[in-house]
Each structure stands twice: as structure tokens, then as C-alpha cells.
Amino acid sequence: MATKFHIPTRMCVSCRNRDTQNALLRLQCKDGSLESFHGTGRSFYICKVCLNDEKRVAKSLMRQCRTSEKERLTNRLKEIITDDR
């Protein structure tokens, strides 16, 4: 009999939809600055669909990072996306 492997699911902070962990982008805020996750600390996930909706993502990033600097967060997110690809 074949064994079933557990596939972790996580929730996108922007749209609240669940998806597999490897299909989401994992980020974290350190001192009000947005970074990709480095292994320690609190993190959150954003799905690939929400990355295309800039307004929705900016609002959820401001909520997660507890800052009102929308322009800086969206620019940093674009840098992270281009570095990961």
C-alpha cells in the first residue's frame, strides 16, 4: 500500500486562500522593513495571484509590517520578487 505524504498548507495574508506551502512566497518584517524569510522570526505568506494585485498586497503588507509607508513596501516587494526568480 502506498504511503500518503503530508503536504503543509498555508494561508495567504492578502486573499486568505489556502494553498500548498511551496506555492506561496514567504516573507517577514524586521524593524518595519520587508525581507524574504531567513529561518527565524515571525513570517507570513503571499500567493502568486495576489502579487499581481498591487493595491491589495500593499494594504496587507502595511498591516503585517505595522507601517504606513506603502511606497517603500511595494518597491521592496518588487526587489524580492525579482531576486527570487
Residue 29, φ and ψ in degrees, nearest 5: -110, 125
Domains and CATH numbers, the chain: 9-84 (3.30.1230)
Percent of the chain predicted with pLDDT > 90 = 55
What pTM was computed for the model? 0.84
**Residue 71: exposed, middle, or buried by beta-carbon count in 10 A (0-12, 13-18, 19+)?**
exposed
Q: What is the pLDDT of residue 32?
A: 80
What are 26-39's pLDDT values in tens digits?
A: 999 988 889 999 88
CA-CA distance, 80 to 73, in Å (whole number)? 11
